[in-house]
Amino acid sequence: MRVSGRKEGGETRVDPWSQAWERAAAGAVAVVDCGERIPCNPCEEACTRGAIEVGEDICAPPRFDPGLCDGCGRCVAMCPGMAVFLLDRSVGNGRARVTVPYEMGEEMRAGREVWAMDGEGKPLGKARVVGAKKRGGRAGTTLVTVEVDEGWALKVRGVRDRLITLEAPLEAEAEPLKEYPLCRCEEVSGPRVGEVAAEFASLRSLRRFSRVGLGYCQGRFCQDMLRERLARAREMEEGEVGTFRVRPPVRPVKLGKLGGEDA
């Protein structure tokens, strides 16, 4: 297994995998599985929280700080090498959710059964898609979340539609894009937010009419960025555009649990 953060020349830091594994118990976190000495740093650019650092030497493998990562998934969509995925162990029951980029043309939807693939492109087994979001990043990237046995969680690197033959994984193009969606859950792009912001002056209205912040994360990941964008677009102070109203549940929770069933 390649371990992220191992620098060429023998310099190794704390194993970020075990950190990420622990951190994933509380929700999605990125796992950066990149040890290549290649001139590449879109992941660093993608991350708005400074969790990924490549630094001056663009060939250095990225250093990753799980403590700063909030699992937004931008780096997953941006990495041209498909070397980043999200791990979420908060579902419990020995299950984990893994979010990987998916590049094929056809639609990937929640509920679909797919093959979970390992890093060498070999099928690990069947998995059910629990979320699929079109993302900017490289054109046509969808972030697909599958729920798998915790034991596989670190092995899954991709998914394949079960109807498609399992050969020839598509080569991804190393072309970073400027505009990734501000809200990954509802795939609302920056320009769309700008359009709506031209008409509405509060964060709540922006949400009502553009659906930003209405997805799975409920604005936890995008709110700050949206507030800043909106304030800038309206030439207002950030405080003036308001905040989303936080409504329970604060994190997604199984309906059965709310209804009193033991999980």
Partner 1 sequence: MPEVLSSEVVIIGGGVIGAAAAYYLCKEGAEVMIVEEDDLAAGASGACDGFISLQTKQPGVHLELARESSALFPSLAEELDDDIEYSPCGGIMLATTAEQLKELKARAKKMKAAGLEVETLSPSDLKSRLPEVGKDVKGASYCAQDAQVNPIALTLGLAHKAQEMGATILRGTKVENIVVTNNRVREVHTSSGSIHSRRVVCAAGTGSNRIGKMIIVDIPVMPQRGQILVTEPREKMLDVILCGAEYLGTKGNIAELLPQDEEAAKLGLGFTAEQTASGNFLLGSTREFAGADAATTPEAINAIAKNAMYYLPWIKELDVIRSFAGLRPCSPDGLPILGTVKGVKGFFIATGHSGDGICLAPITGKLISELVLDGETSLDIEPLSLYRFK
The one of ligand SF4, partner 1, none whose footprint includes residue 155, by CB under 5 to 8 A per kind, is none
- Residue 241 touches ligand SF4, criterion: CB under 6 A: no
Sheet holding 113-117, edge to edge: 29-32, 84-88, 95-102, 142-149, 123-134, 113-117, 158-161
Distance, CA of 109 to CA of 159 (rounded, Å): 12
| DSSP state letter for 36 | -
Binder of ligand SF4 out of 52, 183, 193, 231 (CB under 6 A) = 52
3-state DSSP assignment of residue 200: coil
3-state DSSP assignment of residue 43: helix
- Residue 143 touches ligand SF4, criterion: CB under 6 A: no
Of 131, 128, 141, 127, nearest in space to 109 by CA: 131
- Residue 212 touches ligand SF4, criterion: CB under 6 A: no
- Residue 49 touches ligand SF4, criterion: CB under 6 A: yes
φ/ψ region of 48 (left if φ > 0, alpha if ψ in -120 to 50, else beta) reads: alpha
> Based on CB atoms, which residue is closest to partner 1, 14 or 255?
255
Please identify, among the stretches 28-36, 124-132, 142-150, 196-204, the one whose residues bind ligand SF4 according to the rule CB under 6 A: 28-36
Closest distance to partner 1 from the beta carbon of 10 (Å): 44
Binder of ligand SF4 out of 20, 24, 31, 72 (CB under 6 A) = 72
Whether 195 contacts 163, CB under 8 Å: no
Residues binding partner 1 (CB under 8 A): 109-112, 130-131, 186, 200-202, 204-205, 208-209, 211, 214-216, 218, 247-249, 252-256, 258-261
End-to-end CA distance of the chain, in Å?
33
Closest distance to ligand SF4 from the beta carbon of 180 (Å): 10
Please identify, among the stretches 80-88, 101-109, 126-134, 151-159, the one whose residues bind ligand SF4 according to the rule CB under 6 A: 80-88
